[in-house]
A and B are shown apart, each in its own frame.
Chain A
C-alpha cells in the first residue's frame, strides 16, 4: 500500500476534527460526510483521486471519534426538566448528580472496550458472518418485522394506575402507549413517502434522508433542550471511576450484543439494538447502562463501516454494505484486499485511543463552559448551525448559490420541519424516541418482503 503515511495522516485529521466537531449538539458524521463529499465534488484536491483510501481513512477516524465523542452533547447539553420528561435518562442523571465527567469517561471506556470487541470479532466477520448472512439473508424481512413488533409490544404503560374508573386508569396508562404507536405509524408513513419519492433535489439524492433525521432527532432534541429550565449542578472532575470488573463485564456484554445487532441488521440502529440487548441481558444498574451505551455506539457505528472493508470474497453472495457511511462512500471505491481491512482496523484502534484522550480533555472544558454559559444558548447556536447546514446543502452540492438552489433549500427545510414535529411527539408525550426509527426500518422491511410496490401503488406513490 503506497503512501500509507499519507493515509494515516488523513485518519488522524478525521479523528481530531471529529473530536472537536462532534462536541456540538446534533452534528452527526453522516451530515458532515455529505458536506465533505459535496465540497470534494468542487475541490478535488481535498482527497487524492489516486488514493481513494484516504477518503475512507478520514471518515473512519470521524466515525470512531463520533462514537466516543457524542457522549458529550448528549450528557452535558441536553438536560431534561420535570415537565419535559417522565424518566430521566441515565447519562443525564449522572450530570444532574454532578458526576457528568465520570459518566462521560465511563462511556468512553465502553467505547474502548467496543473496539476490543471488534478486534476479537474480526475472524467472525470473515468466516462465520458470511455463512450466517447466507442463512439469514432471505429471512431479513421477518427478522426486521420481529424487531418492529417487539418495539411496539415492549412499551408498557407508564401511568401510576390512578383513576376512579377503569376508563380513567386505562386512558392514563395508554396515553404514552398510544403516543408511541402514533409516532411509529406516522414515522413509517413518512419513511414510505421518502423511500418512494425523492423529496430533496435529485442531485442531493445521496443525502435524501438528511432532513428527515436532522428533524426527527437533532432539531427536536435541541428544541427540547431550549425549552428545558433545568439548572445544571456543579460538576466534579475526578481521577477515578466507580467501576469494578464485574460491572464492566456486565456492561460490555449487552453493549456488544446490541451494537452487533445494529451493525448487521439493516435499518436497526444502536438505540434499538441496545433496547433488545438490554432486555436480553436483564441487568439494572446505571453504570451498566451507561457503559453499555458506550460499547454499543462504537460497535454499531464503527462495526457497520468496518463490515464494508471485509473483502467480498468472504461473502458467498457479494459483499456487505451497511449504514449510511458505507452507502455514501460506495460509489467512490470498494476495498477488496484483506490488507486494507487490517490497515483500516489499525486506524480504528488509533482513532479510538486518541478519541478517548480527547474525550477527557473536551469534557473538562465543556464543564467549564456550561458553568458559565447557559446550555440553552449553546442549543440555540447548535440549532442555527444545523438549520443553516441543511438549508445550504443543495447549494454546497451544486457549488453555487442562486434562486433555484435556495428554493431547493427551502424544500429541504420544509421536510425537516415536518420531521421535527414528528420528533417532538415522543418528547412531549413520553413515549420512546426509538419509535421514530420506523422511518427507515418499516420501509426497508416492506421492501424486502416484496410488498413495497403494491403498497406504494395503494398510497398513490407508485
Chain B
C-alpha cells in the first residue's frame, strides 16, 4: 500500500479510542489539546520509513552492477548479475546484487530491462532507449544491435517466483537477493532488505514500549498506556495491509526471520485499492469523531451511516471503474521494447542459421 494509505489507516485506528478522541478534541479551559491521534498515523508510516530511509543503507550487496551510462555493456551487466547467482548457488547462502540506474542528464536516464528467463536459465539484460524522468522514451536512442542484449547462463536453475521482467530507469535500481532453495533451485528475492526486520509485530511492540514510557512520564501513568497501544496498533495496521500484496513481511522478527509471502490480493500500488482504503479511513475517522463528541451532530444508526457514507459511494466508484476502467493489463513500455529487441535478435539468429544452411 502507498504511504498515505498506511498513514490514514493508522490515524483511523487511533480514532477508535474514546479517551484519545476526547483528549484530542477537548477544549479544556486553560489547557492544551493532545496530538495523540497523530501518533497512529506516524507509526502507520513508520515501517517503510525505517526501511527506505535507514535500512537500505545498512545493507551491503556483495555484487554491484554499475554500468557506464555513456557506453553501457549489457553483456557485462548480465555477467555481473549472473555471477552473483552462481555465487549464491555455490555458497548456498543469500547473495545480494545491487543494480544501479544509468543517469544521462537531469531529466535523462538510460533504460534497461532485467529478465530472469526460467526456460533457458539465463539472465537477460536488454538496453532500451533513453527515457525522461517521466519515463517517456526518446525514439531512436536505443543502442546499436550489438550492444543491445546481454545474456548469461547460470549454473543452477531458476525457481521463478518473481516472473516479470524489471525495468530499471529512473532514480534508483533494485537490489536482488539470490538464494538456493531446498530443491537446489535459485530463488530471487526482490529488495531483500525491504519488509524484513522493520515489518514485524514484535518490533512494533518493542517500539511501543518507549512511547508508553515517555508518555507516562509526561502525561501520567494512567493515560500513558494509551499512547503505547495506539503506536502499536498504527504500526500493526501497516503490516496487516502489506499482507494483501505479494511481498508479505518478516512478521515475527527476530523470532522468525525469513520473510513470508503476502496474500497476493492486489498490487501495493493499485490506485483503486489505495483510494478505497483512504476513503474508508476518512469515513471511519468521521464516524468516531462524531460518536465520541459531547453532542453528536448526526445520529444515523451505524448501519445507515456506513451504507450511505461508505458502501454506496464505493459501490458507485467501483462500478465506474468497472465500466470505464482499463479492460486488460497493459504491458510496460520497457518490457514491450525488450520483447521487440529479443524477437529481432531471434529473427536475426534464424536468418543467419538459414543463410548458413543454404550455404
Contacts and interface: CB of A to CB of B under 8 A. Distances in A.
Is there direct touching of A and B in the complex, by C-beta distance under 8 Å? yes
Interface stretch (B285-293, B333-341, B351-359): B285-293
A246 B324 CA distance: 7
Contacts of B136: 286
B297 A279 contact: no
Contacts of A283: 271
Interface stretch (A23-31, A35-43, A143-151, A296-304): A143-151
A177 interface: yes
Interface stretch (A165-173, A205-213, A325-333): A165-173
Interface string B252-282: 0000000000000000011100110010000
A134 B297 contact: yes
B41 A149 contact: yes
Interface size grouping (class) on chain A? 35 or more
B49 interface: yes
B172 to A, nearest CB: 5
B37 interface: yes
Interface in B94-148: 98, 100-101, 103, 105-107, 132-134, 136
Nearest to A171: B57
Contacts, number: 133
A198 interface: no
A286 B136 CA distance: 10
Contact of B172 (A160, A174, A276, A449): A160
Interface in A438-461: 448-451, 454
Contacts of B27: 138
A139 interface: yes
Interface string B45-73: 10001001110111010000010000000
A279 B24 contact: no
Nearest to A136: B289
A131 interface: yes
Which interface residue of A86, A88, A150, A156 has the most chain B CB atoms within 10 A?
A150
Contacts of A449: 32-33, 35
B24 A139 contact: yes
Contacts of A138: 25-27, 33, 293
B134 A177 contact: no
Nearest to B28: A450
B176 to A, nearest CB: 14
SS of A interface (majority): helix
A135 interface: yes
Contacts of A87: 133
A161 interface: yes
A377 interface: no
Contacts of B32: 449-451, 454
18 contacts: A86-B106, A87-B133, A93-B107, A132-B286, A135-B290, A138-B26, A138-B33, A139-B289, A142-B33, A142-B35, A150-B4, A154-B4, A160-B171, A160-B173, A166-B57, A174-B53, A286-B134, A450-B28
Which 10 pairs of residues, A with B, have the shortest CB-CB distance? Answer: A450-B32, A82-B106, A282-B271, A279-B4, A138-B25, A170-B57, A169-B57, A145-B38, A280-B278, A88-B107
Given A139-B25, A150-B3, A150-B45, 15 more contacts: A85-B106, A135-B297, A142-B24, A149-B7, A150-B41, A153-B7, A160-B100, A160-B101, A160-B172, A177-B53, A282-B2, A282-B269, A282-B270, A450-B32, A450-B33
Interface of A: 81-83, 85-88, 90, 93, 96, 131-132, 134-136, 138-139, 141-142, 145-146, 149-150, 153-154, 156-162, 166, 169-170, 173-174, 177, 246, 249, 276, 279-284, 286, 448-451, 454
